[in-house]
Amino acid sequence: MSDDRKRILVVDDDVMQLNNMKKILKEFYDVTAVNSGKSCIKFLENHQCDLIFLDFLMPEESGAQVFYKLRDNPKTKDIPVVFLTGVTEKKVVVKTLTELKPAGYIVKPASKKDLVNKIMDILG
């Protein structure tokens, strides 16, 4: 991988979703996929990334809990986070965006167009 590729971390407990996103994005981005919030935090202890796609509903730690940990850490507080969610109820989505203020959200299953458009909006 060349050093000028943007580094994206995908966090989701669904292995099929991780594999799908990695397959979609690997052509243009350096993609790392992990299956839990704990793995996300551990990965970021020794690696950097430009953007995080974070599943909102996960067992053990929710996406919101991981998001707060990222924001509390000076090393990760400025990394843009986009929630991946199967929740489509507008009221819930608006509440999440208003309270947590992520860089955005994408409804799963994520399409290549939605993913690339969101990345381009955030990273250029």
37 in Cβ contact with 63 (< 8 Å): yes
Query: What pTM does this model have?
Result: 0.92
**Per residue of the chain (124 residues), what is the pLDDT tens digit?**
446 899 999 999 999 999 999 999 999 999 999 999 999 999 999 999 999 999 998 889 999 999 999 999 999 999 999 999 887 676 776 777 788 899 998 988 889 999 999 999 999 8
- DSSP class of residue 26 equals T
DSSP for 55-119, please give it. Answer: ESS-SSS-HHHHHHHHHHSTTTTTS-EEEEES---HHHHHHHHHHH--SEEEESSPPHHHHHHHH
